[in-house]
């Protein structure tokens, strides 16, 4: 039997057919055009799944289930998108509507939760029963796997790791609070930090870039640029401090990092691991999980959704 995973994002709708070995045997995508109505977007999701099945000669009788990963606050018990700012949805019964249109069982979870599950069944945390995933993009997403299952709490909105407080009264966050981890560990945050550093360093290589982004910062750091390296060191401290908090609470087997910033490799991963080992409660007297980059990339959400 095959499974279908859908990764609904603000830019693209991605879908894949996943086999019993958790390999994607077919995938495709459509533009989301998030300003459209929910009905139009869901119709495109339905079309994408049916096109994939038809193209690869798979009948619906051969499909076990469909899983959907969606950004925002999701009531996974009912499949309802309570609120998503990425696609501007509120109280959309995504699961029920898609189940009716596809005539297949449908489950809906938060997209970061799906990515975490994907990495657990087929990626860098394969065979781990307890893991944490942080996605470091424009914001900071989080997914938690406990005892082999997605953790989302008693009701919708659990595992918003990016919106735990790192510094009370600190930098403004997109959620309306101040001092959230997202305000210090996102791609947006490292750019803000780097811009402050380069203002103090008039000779910084960062002044040569038309646009300051994560790639520019890590490239400048490779060329021994002081402002870039200081920005990365400060960013690492904030990110690692957040990870220490999560390790102290959950003590997972692994912590995975995803999103654009995670591609920085050893310049990011190595100092984060050093910090976590140094400051986790109990130190080397107890188990310290390794922090590493996620393996499946954009496929993690599809594979995870298919395994809900």
Residues 140, 257 within the same domain: yes
Whether residue 203 is found in the same domain as residue 181:
yes
User: How far is Cα 220 from Cα 211, in angstroms, rounded to an integer?
Assistant: 13
Positive or negative, the CA dihedral 264, 270, 275, 281 is: positive
- Closest CA relative to residue 150, chosen from 123, 120, 106: 120
Pair 116, 146 in one domain:
no
* pLDDT value, residue 86: 78
Q: What is the DSSP letter of 178?
A: B
Residuewise pLDDT in 10s, the chain (308 residues): 999 999 999 889 999 999 999 999 999 999 999 999 999 999 999 999 999 999 999 999 999 999 999 998 999 999 999 999 879 899 999 999 999 999 999 999 999 999 999 999 999 999 899 999 999 998 999 999 999 999 988 888 788 999 999 999 999 998 899 999 999 999 999 999 999 999 999 999 999 999 999 999 999 999 999 999 999 999 999 999 999 999 999 999 999 999 999 999 999 999 999 999 999 999 889 999 999 999 999 899 999 999 99
Same domain, 235 and 253: yes
Question: 281 and 153: one domain?
Answer: yes
Q: Quick check: 18 and 25 in contact, CB under 8 A? A: yes
Residue 81: which domain range? 2-121+299-306
Q: What is the CATH number of the domain that holds 140?
A: 3.30.420.40
């Amino acid at each position: 039997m095959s499974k279908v995973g859908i990764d609904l994002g603000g830019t693209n709708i991605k879908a894949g057919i996943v086999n019993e070995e958790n390999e994607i045997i077919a995938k495709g995508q459509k533009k989301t055009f998030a300003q459209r109505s929910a009905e139009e977007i869901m119709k495109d999701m339905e079309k994408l799944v049916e096109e994939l099945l038809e193209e690869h000669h798979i009948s619906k009788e051969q499909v076990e289930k469909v899983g959907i990963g969606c950004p925002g606050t999701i009531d996974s018990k009912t499949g309802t998108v309570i609120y998503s700012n990425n696609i501007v949805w509120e109280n959309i019964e995504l699961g029920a509507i898609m189940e009716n249109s596809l005539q297949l069982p449908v489950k809906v979870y938060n997209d970061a939760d799906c990515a975490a599950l994907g990495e657990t069944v087929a990626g860098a945390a394969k065979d781990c029963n307890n893991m944490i995933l942080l996605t470091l993009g424009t914001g900071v997403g989080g997914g938690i796997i406990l005892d082999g299952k997605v953790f989302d709490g008693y009701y919708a909105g659990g595992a918003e790791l990016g919106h735990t407080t790192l510094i009370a009264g600190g930098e403004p966050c997109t959620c309306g609070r101040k001092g959230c981890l997202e305000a210090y560990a996102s791609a947006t945050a490292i750019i803000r930090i780097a811009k402050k550093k380069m203002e103090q360093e008039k000779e910084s290589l960062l002044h040569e870039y038309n646009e300051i982004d994560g790639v520019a910062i890590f490239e400048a750091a490779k060329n021994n640029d002081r402002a870039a390296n200081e920005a990365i060191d400060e960013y690492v401290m904030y990110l690692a401090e957040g990870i220490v908090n999560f390790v102290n609470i959950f003590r997972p087997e692994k912590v995975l990092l995803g999103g654009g910033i995670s591609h920085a490799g050893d310049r990011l991963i190595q100092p984060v691991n050093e910090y976590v080992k140094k400051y986790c409660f109990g130190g080397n007297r107890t188990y310290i999980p390794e922090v590493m980059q996620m393996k499946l990339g954009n496929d993690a959400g599809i594979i995870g959704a298919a395994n809900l």
